[in-house]
Structure 1
Amino acid sequence: MTTETQTTATVDHLRFHRAHAHLAPTFGNDKFALRAEAFARFFGTPMFLGAQTLIVALWIFLNVSGITHFDAYPFILLNLAFSLQAAYAAPLILLAQTRQAARDKAQSEADAQHREALAVANSERQAQAAKHTAQLLELLEQNTRLTEMTKTLSERIENLTSEMHLHIVQHKNEPKV
């Protein structure tokens, strides 16, 4: 018994996504970009909102209670800090959304290419199956014809055998001269 070794091609399931791998980091790959992305991701988290609320409450408490007066009641410095934060946060968030949209589009295109490749492979498998089915039907028809021929030959052999048997029996029963 011989064992056949099948060479199976390893399929890279991410082959359509590799072309878009450069879009993975939102702001790039350098140190500043990684920190900017971490900062943009930190906005909107419960930890950020809690920390900001705590800082604002502490700011107001310190200035209203009389412990210190670095920012009087209209809290102009606090408003300036919020404006500065918004001035930096908005572009970072918009940049993150723009890059995310680019990643989503690239992901969608890669998925579409993958689906197309699957459809082509499926069509090829269906064509191969249809070809094999046609071959099997042809072989089945040939087998049927051969079976009919064998049946006919078998009947002819049986008839010839019967005729020979009759001929031999008659030949034995004939009187000898």
Structure 2
Amino acid sequence: MPRPERRTTTSRIDTPKGLRAQRPVAERRDRFGHFTELIARWMGTPWFILGLTAFVFVWMFWNTTAPDGWRFDSAAIGFTALTLILSLQASYAAPLILLAQNRQDDRDRVGMEQDRQRAERNLQDTEYLAREIVALRLGLEDLATKDFVRQELRAMLAELEKEREQEKERPGG
């Protein structure tokens, strides 16, 4: 006898959406972009600049004042290894920063489009409400006011009293 298929919470339709196991697919596809943004953000901090300055200072101090056997980058030939390291860092930093800026531009573009759509909806809602207010005002002009109703009631009462008096004055009444 075949075993009935066991249903998990991810496959059940009657399970509320919040209880289903969901995987952020878009996040996994864009790990590199997220990583580059983190690097670019970190490179823009004062701690990175201070750390790089301290690294360069220690490098130059060590290779200038240490005994000749301990030096690994000669000051006489212009700190070639330090220049290479800083050049590599700069060659990777520029594209990472540009990539992060492009991603930010994309987010800004999406945000501006959403703002434009929201503003358009707000304008439509405002125009609708303005039309409704005008319709209400026009409708209120046609409504009978309290004074008008009183005046009409007084006129009807006066007519009724007149008719009563006329009935009393008639010979058969």
What is the TM-score with the length of structure 2 in the denominator? Answer: 0.71
- Determine the C-alpha separation between the residues in 2 that align with 1:103 and 1:33: 13
SS of 2:30's equivalent in the other structure is coil
Shift in Å, 1:129: 1.7
1:11-50 correspondence to structure 2 within 5 Å? 29-30=30-31, 32-50=32-50
Give 1:70's aligned residue: 72
Give 2:87's aligned residue: 83
In structure 2, give the amino acid aligned to 1:29: D
Percent same amino acid among aligned pairs?
30
Shift in Å, 1:163: 4.5
Shift in Å, 1:33: 3.6
What is the TM-score with the length of structure 1 in the denominator? Answer: 0.69
In structure 2, give the amino acid aligned to 1:89: A
- Determine the C-alpha separation between the residues in 2 that align with 1:78 and 1:140: 92
Shift in Å, 1:99: 1.7
Give 1:152's aligned residue: 155
Shift in Å, 1:101: 1.4
- Determine the C-alpha separation between the residues in 1 that align with 2:99 and 2:64: 38
Residues 139/54 of structure 1: CA separation in 2 closer, same or farther (3 Å cut): same
Residues 94/41 of structure 1: CA separation in 2 closer, same or farther (3 Å cut): same
1:1-177 correspondence to structure 2 within 5 Å? 29-30=30-31, 32-67=32-67, 68-73=70-75, 74-140=78-144, 144=148, 147-163=150-166, 167=169
- Determine the C-alpha separation between the residues in 1 that align with 2:120 and 2:34: 35
Residues 137/143 of structure 1: CA separation in 2 closer, same or farther (3 Å cut): farther
In structure 1, give the amino acid aligned to 2:35: R
Q: Which has the higher contact order (CA 8 A, sep 6+)?
A: 1
Give 1:174's aligned residue: none
Shift in Å, 1:122: 1.1
In structure 2, give the amino acid aligned to 1:112: R
In structure 2, give the amino acid aligned to 1:70: F
In structure 2, give the amino acid aligned to 1:58: V
Give 1:8's aligned residue: none
Q: Where do 5+ consecutive residues of structure 2 fail to align?
A: 1-25
Give 2:15's aligned residue: none
- Determine the C-alpha separation between the residues in 2 that align with 1:156 and 1:36: 91
RMSD: 2.9
SS of 2:71's equivalent in the other structure is coil
Q: Where do 5+ consecutive residues of structure 1 fail to align?
A: 1-21, 172-177
- Determine the C-alpha separation between the residues in 1 that align with 2:139 and 2:101: 56
